[in-house]
């Protein structure tokens, strides 16, 4: 899942003091004079030009109907037009994109109606105008075995007639298109609220032409991504047959202008002519220096290392931005493995854990706030769950400092009279061997050891850590020290349901890393899924408190993502996923 790939290497020196505000898309790296509306062009913005984005890795899927990683969305929101999107300065409010107005949700929450705008066309070689039937097919294909979209199976599963793992070509009776500009979603449960809260902004809702894509979707694994057409301002460079020649896996993603994009139908300015996304830039120190001293460049799926930020804070301040509110980080304890099936022992570990030391591994207060629960700042329910102070559990103080006396008390309640763990078998901890994440894994090991645990720490590359170990319950990993989550959109369900609902414990691709399966929490989540918009924040805040009280994971950071640009770039970042926004960025 995209959000389990929260691998951004945000880092800085703990001793730094920074005068750059955490900012999401306010045009802070341009000469906008501090204006908060990123849709207002900076005076120095010019139309045209070529931007280069340096990446270390690749997208999870080039097909936006399958995509779920942060950097996949970086591409998809530039090449596709979902029903709704976000303006850079506001990652919580849906803005009509392909849609022409806000979604209409019926009183019973079981019907959602969306009107789509006229005049939006597919890129070559399809070239025709988009209709509601193209949106219908886009969502239907997410259920196909050949596509298997995570967001579709999670947020659209309540559609009448929907079947996860359906045969390519299958239709969903709960998606109706009474005319070319109207699409109606009929639901088995009252989950229209969560569709309207953000699910309709997923790239999976961007139109796909059935007559063109069905032959690719009919394959065992769809190859539509390598032959895709676009509706956004940009498209992956293709040839006359539609082959995406601009995509070379692990090497590059070359975006060019979509000749059929009409700016009169879109709120995005789309200044640039081309964007070269160059992958394989593993040395972030070298890449950072290239960007800061070069021209027309920005960082992609990585953040500058501490030594670079230390200099950038004073010498390149106008080329640096921090964006918060997208994700959290925590240490997961496997509640199905002894001794972590004991709630008092888990509370003891949390009480003894130096969360401030964990934050220092990434740079201290500069790069985020000490997390006291799981819903992150800026998401509805954060304040209701206690805000920065949290719900007030004694084992997670707001300052992040350890309390060894309290830890000893909880250990005694857990059945260890000495106040320390006395088991002899080592516990398996699997962490990342990539950059600063390794430091966090090592600090985690030390925190467990000071309570008497014997720890076998296995460090592997980030993808292996997830796919082979932490995402696979059969691997029997006791502790995952490097996990975290980026919200799908601004709703507590997207933070808590995939990560702590018992029904989401999966044999493969599991993101409930503690494997928490508490009946009361599960029921509360099931009930909250069907609530209308005005009741959702309070309900998910209460669930956040319930999850925090279970001590199945140790929250330690709400991230602020560090972003850098070259001097001649007007960089605009988006609060939605804490990344640069290609649709609003320009050259000077």
Given a cut of 90, whether residue 37 has pLDDT beyond it is: no
Percent of the chain with pLDDT over 90: 80
3-state DSSP percent of the chain in helix, strand and coil, to 5: 30, 20, 50
Average pLDDT in the chain: 91
Q: Report how far apart the first and last C-alpha atoms of the chain are (Å, whole number).
A: 36
Asked if the bond preceding 125 is cis, omega within 30° of 0, the reply is: yes
The per-residue pLDDT for 35 is 38
Q: Which of 517, 511, 528, 562 is nearest to 68 (CA)?
A: 511
Given a cut of 80, whether residue 4 has pLDDT beyond it is: no
Averaged pLDDT for residues 230-258: 97
The per-residue pLDDT for 38 is 47
The 10s digit of each residue's pLDDT in 147-162 is 999 899 989 999 999 9
Cα angle vertex 529, ends 528, 535, to 5°?
Answer: 50
Q: What is the Cα 521 distance to its own chain's centre?
A: 23
The per-residue pLDDT for 41 is 64
Asked if the bond preceding 339 is cis, omega within 30° of 0, the reply is: yes
Rg (CA), the chain: 23
Q: In angstroms, rounded to a whole number, what is the distance separating the alpha carbons of residues 506 and 528?
A: 21
The per-residue pLDDT for 577 is 85
The 10s digit of each residue's pLDDT in 464-495 is 999 899 999 999 999 999 999 988 899 999 99
Averaged pLDDT for residues 87-114: 95
Q: In angstroms, rounded to a whole number, what is the distance separating the alpha carbons of residues 214 and 157?
A: 21
**Which of 8-17, 459-468, 513-522 shows the lowest per-residue confidence on average (mean pLDDT)?**
8-17
Tell me if 482 sits within 8 A of 468, measured CB to CB.
no
The per-residue pLDDT for 43 is 76
Give the Cβ contact number of residue 229 at 10 Å. Answer: 27
Given a cut of 80, whether residue 25 has pLDDT beyond it is: no
Q: Bin 356: left if φ > 0, else alpha if -120 < ψ < 50, else beta.
A: alpha
Beta-carbon contacts of 113 under 8 Å, excluding residues fewer than 6 positions away, are 103, 104, 182, 183, 184, 185
Averaged pLDDT for residues 174-201: 96
Percent of the chain with pLDDT over 70: 93
Q: How confident is the model at residue 8 (pLDDT cuts 50, 70, 90)?
A: very low
Given a cut of 90, whether residue 124 has pLDDT beyond it is: yes
Cα angle vertex 10, ends 4, 12, to 5°?
Answer: 160
Given a cut of 60, whether residue 335 has pLDDT beyond it is: yes
Q: In angstroms, rounded to a whole number, what is the distance separating the alpha carbons of residues 257 and 270?
A: 9
Tell me if 588 sits within 8 A of 45, measured CB to CB.
yes
The per-residue pLDDT for 7 is 32
Averaged pLDDT for residues 219-225: 97
Given a cut of 80, whether residue 536 has pLDDT beyond it is: yes
Give whole-number Cα distances, 527 to 163, 254, 379, 560, in Å: 22, 44, 19, 32
Averaged pLDDT for residues 337-343: 98
Residue boundaries of the structural domains of the chain: 58-275
Averaged pLDDT for residues 429-456: 94
Tell me if 236 sits within 8 A of 217, measured CB to CB.
no
58-275 adopts what CATH topology? D-Maltodextrin-Binding Protein; domain 2 (3.40.190)
φ, ψ for residue 404 (rounded to 5)? Answer: -70, -30
Given a cut of 70, whether residue 366 has pLDDT beyond it is: yes
Tell me if 116 sits within 8 A of 133, measured CB to CB.
no
Give the Cβ contact number of residue 267 at 10 Å. Answer: 13
Give whole-number Cα distances, 569 to 40, 294, 295, 345, 584, in Å: 16, 10, 8, 51, 11
Q: How confident is the model at residue 12 (pLDDT cuts 50, 70, 90)?
A: very low
Given a cut of 50, whether residue 201 has pLDDT beyond it is: yes
Beta-carbon contacts of 449 under 8 Å, excluding residues fewer than 6 positions away, are 455
Averaged pLDDT for residues 96-108: 97
The per-residue pLDDT for 313 is 87
The per-residue pLDDT for 365 is 84
Q: How confident is the model at residue 231 (pLDDT cuts 50, 70, 90)?
A: very high
DSSP letters along 110-178, please? -EEEEEB-SS-BPPTTT-SBP-HHHHHHHHHHTTBTTT--HHHHHHSTTBTT--TTBPTT---TTEEEE
């Amino acid at each position: 899942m995209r959000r389990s790939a929260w691998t951004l290497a945000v880092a800085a020196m703990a001793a730094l003091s920074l005068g750059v505000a955490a900012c999401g898309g306010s045009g802070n790296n341009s000469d906008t004079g501090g204006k908060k509306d990123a849709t207002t062009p900076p005076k120095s913005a010019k139309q045209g030009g070529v931007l280069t984005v340096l990446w270390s890795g690749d997208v999870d899927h080039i097909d936006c109907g399958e995509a779920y990683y942060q950097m996949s969305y970086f591409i998809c929101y530039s090449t596709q037009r979902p029903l709704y999107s976000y303006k850079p300065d506001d990652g919580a409010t849906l803005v009509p994109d392909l849609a022409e107005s806000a979604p209409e949700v019926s009183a019973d929450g079981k019907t959602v109606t969306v009107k789509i705008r006229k005049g939006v066309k597919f890129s070559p070689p399809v070239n025709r105008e988009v209709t509601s039937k193209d949106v219908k097919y886009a969502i239907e294909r997410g259920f196909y075995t050949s596509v298997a979209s995570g967001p579709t199976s999670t947020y659209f599963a309540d559609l009448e007639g929907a079947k996860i793992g359906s045969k390519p070509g299958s239709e969903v009776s709960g998606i109706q298109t009474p005319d070319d500009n109207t699409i109606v979603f009929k639901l088995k449960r009252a989950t229209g609220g969560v569709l309207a809260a953000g699910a309709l902004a997923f790239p999976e809702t961007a139109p796909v032409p059935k007559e063109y894509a069905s032959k690719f979707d009919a394959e065992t694994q769809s190859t539509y991504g390598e032959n895709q057409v676009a509706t956004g301002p940009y498209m992956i460079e293709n040839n006359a047959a539609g082959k995406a020649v601009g995509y070379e896996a692990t090497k590059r993603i070359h975006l060019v202008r979509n000749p059929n994009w009409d700016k009169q139908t879109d709120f995005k300015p789309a200044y640039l002519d081309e964007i070269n996304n160059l992958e394989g830039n593993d040395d972030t120190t070298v890449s950072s220096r290239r960007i800061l001293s070069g021209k027309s460049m920005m960082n992609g799926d990585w953040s500058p290392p501490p030594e670079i930020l230390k200099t950038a804070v004073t010498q390149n301040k106008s080329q640096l931005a921090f964006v918060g509110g997208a994700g959290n980080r925590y240490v997961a304890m496997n509640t199905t493995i002894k001794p972590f099936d004991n709630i008092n022992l888990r509370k003891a570990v949390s009480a003894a854990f130096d969360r401030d030391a964990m934050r220092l591994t990434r740079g201290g207060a500069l790069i985020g706030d000490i997390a006291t629960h799981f819903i992150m700042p800026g998401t509805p329910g954060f304040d209701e769950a206690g805000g920065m102070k949290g719900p007030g559990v004694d084992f997670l103080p707001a300052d992040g400092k350890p309390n060894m006396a309290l830890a000893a008390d909880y250990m005694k309640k857990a059945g260890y009279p000495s106040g320390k763990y006395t088991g002899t078998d080592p516990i398996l901890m699997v962490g990342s061997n990539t950059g600063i994440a390794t430091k966090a894994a090592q600090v985690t090991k030390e925190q467990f050891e000071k309570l008497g645990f014997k720890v076998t720490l296995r460090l592997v590359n980030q993808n292996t850590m997830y796919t082979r170990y932490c995402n696979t319950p059969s691997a029997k990993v006791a502790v995952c020290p490097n996990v975290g989550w980026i919200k799908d959109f601004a709703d507590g369900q997207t933070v808590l349901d995939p990560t702590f609902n018992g029904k989401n414990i999966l044999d493969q691709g599991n993101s409930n890393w503690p494997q928490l399966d508490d009946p009361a929490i599960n029921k509360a989540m099931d009930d909250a899924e069907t609530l209308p918009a005005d009741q959702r924040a309070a309900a998910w805040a209460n669930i956040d408190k319930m999850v925090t009280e279970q001590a199945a994971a140790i929250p330690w950071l709400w991230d602020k993502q560090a972003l850098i640009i070259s001097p001649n770039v007007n960089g605009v970042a988006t609060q939605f996923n804490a990344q640069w926004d290609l649709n609003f960025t320009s050259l000077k």
